Amino acid sequence: MLQLSNKWAEILNAQPETGMGYQIATICLKDGRRYDRVVVVQGNITSVDGNGVVPFKESDISRIVVTHDKAALHK
């Protein structure tokens, strides 16, 4: 799990929830990598494409885009 700072709160709060209390987003990193189907629950990244391991730090993030993409979330 990765707790996000308030820096991202305005972006996340401006977007609708994907489901009760959570959002699914794409995380874009400063080095160009991108992670789809990232689950964000109350400002915490809880899984990345169905995996509980978060392979990046908050300082790596350049952009968060709420997509609501649930496809293949539960492999």
CA angle 71, 73, 44 (to 5 degrees): 125
Residue 27 pairs in a beta bridge with 35, 64
pLDDT in tens, 13-23: 999 999 999 99
- Give pTM, 2 decimals: 0.89
Show me where the domains of the chain are located.
2-66
Query: How many helices (H) and strands (E) are present in the chain, helices listed first?
Result: 1, 5
Band of pLDDT at residue 7, cut at 50, 70 and 90: very high
